[in-house]
Structure formats: C-alpha cells, structure tokens
Amino acid sequence: MAKTYRSAAGTAFDAFNYVFLGVFALAAVLPFIYVISGSFATDAELTKRAVFLIPETFSVAAYNFIFSTNTIMKSIGVSMYVTVIGTAVNLFFTVTMAYPLARRSLMGRNTVLNLVVFSMLFGGGMIPTYLVIRELHLIDSYWALILPGAISAFNLIIVKNFFQELPPGLEEAAKIDGCTELGLLWRIVLPLSKPVLATFTLFYAVGHWNDFFAALLYINDPMKWPLQVLLRQIVLLSQAAAGDINAMDPNFVKPPDQSIKMAVIVVGTVPILLVYPFLQKHFAKGVLIGSIKG
C-alpha cells in the first residue's frame, strides 16, 4: 500500500489518526507512570503539587514502610501461594477433564459436555454457592479461593477442541507401541500442547493474582486476606481501615499516606507487568481467538 493515492483529506485523516491513537495509547499507561512516580515522592511534595511525572525528591520511604509491615507482606505471601497452587489445580482439572472429552468414542461424552455448556448459561448464583462453600467448611480456607473456580468451562472447551484436533494416528501408534492411556496423555499429548497450556497457565495465574470477589466472599480473617483485598482496605476505605490495621499492626499510627497508597498499587501491579510480555506473545498468536463455537 506504499503508493497510495494521497489526497489532502487523506493526509489530514492520517495526521488526526496518528495523533489520536498516540494519545489513546499514552492514556493507557499514563496512570501507571503517575502512580509509580508518586510512590517514590515524599508526601510533602504530593500535598504541595498534585500533578507531576518526576518527583523532586526521590524517596523510598513508602516501600520501606510496606516491606516492613507484617500485614502487607503476609497478604503478598497469600496472593503468591494462591496463585501458584491455584494455577496448578486449574491446569490439573482442566487437562484431566478435557482429555477424555476430546475422545469422540467415549460413552456419555455428550451428556457431560451438555452439563458443562448448561453451567455457562445458568448458575445457582452467589448465595447458594456461598452456602455450599460454607457447608464444606471452606470459609477462611485458602481452598475457597482455589476450588470454586477450578475449571473455567470456556477454557475447558477450548482445550478439549485443541486435543481433538491433534492427529488421530498418534493415539493408535502409541497404543500399538504399548503405551497406556495415561502414558499417552503425559508423554505425547501434553508435550504437543505446550503453547496452549502456557497460555492458560498465564491467564489462570493472572486471574488468581487479580481475584478479589472470592476472597471478599469467603475470607473473613484479615490475616488471610490476599493482596487485592488488603489493597482495597488501604486505598479505598482508608479512614475506616486505619482502625482495623492499627489494631493489628503497631506500624500504622495514622491513616496511610498518599505515597503509601500509590506504592501498594505499584506492588499489586508489578507482577502483572512482568508477565505481560509473555502474555502478549501468546494471545498475539491468536490461541484464544479460536471461537468456542463448533
């Protein structure tokens, strides 16, 4: 398209387009840059001038505070634990269920698939699910953050479709060589599915790190809160929360300062930004674009 016929209107459109997209792209990351630089500023500066991108005096006081505060460190630990174990559980449940369902000859396959699809259309809702978790005595247990979302029906169907499209000859050849069903899954199917599994690992992990809803419902003990819940407590409910946190931690003598709020936001965001390049590599390949239909 290099030799496009250029009109004045076309050039004007291009100029507008580049400026607009540039501004839009900047707007997507500017809040992060502001919060990051604010977290390195002193509170005196934050009260004096509200809008800046480079702090006058560089200070790591907010981070020193965070990393010396038990409640915050503990919640980071909880979030990491739930993310690692939760993602492992997600993968185990998704793969073990998708594999048999990918076999067209399996008796009862359609019944199970219909059960899965129906659960995407209609659900019991928040309260009945909560009561099931409570009856299982999972309130205030980390398993309440892991088990209720162990399988995403949507992801399950995508993985099943992927398994289904692997060459059927593989199965027969492996069986002739004396490979068992489990050996076939472990030694042949899984290695062939590495890109798909990597994608779902990342998406499930990001989901766990970001999850707020499950902890809000199922975790009442503040010492077991994941970072997202504590973050809300510190930033959004600062006045009310200062009381709770004071009681737990002698470090909090007054409501958290603006710079500390910003630093906690940064701590909650950085892990996502670190895995983002890998995420992008995978979704750019379009693994998830393959629609659920068909």
Residue 261: other Cβ atoms inside 10 A: 21
CB 139 within 8 A of CB 220: yes
Nearest to 237 by CA among 219, 202, 264: 264
Q: Give the whole-angstrom CA distance, residue 263 versus residue 37.
A: 9
CB of 10 to other proteins, least distance (A): 5
Nearest to 227 by CA among 262, 255, 256, 269: 269
CB of 55 to other proteins, least distance (A): 14
Q: Which is nearer to other proteins, 24 or 191 (CB)?
A: 24
Q: Which is nearer to other proteins, 60 or 126 (CB)?
A: 126
Q: Give the whole-angstrom CA distance, residue 117 versus residue 101.
A: 13
Measured N-to-C along each axis, helices 153-164 and 109-121 cross at an angle, to the nearest 10 degrees, of 140
Q: Which is nearer to other proteins, 84 or 132 (CB)?
A: 132
CB of 68 to other proteins, least distance (A): 21
Q: Which is nearer to other proteins, 175 or 250 (CB)?
A: 175
Please state the length of the chain: 294
CB of 223 to other proteins, least distance (A): 19
CB of 253 to other proteins, least distance (A): 18
Q: Which is nearer to other proteins, 72 or 217 (CB)?
A: 217
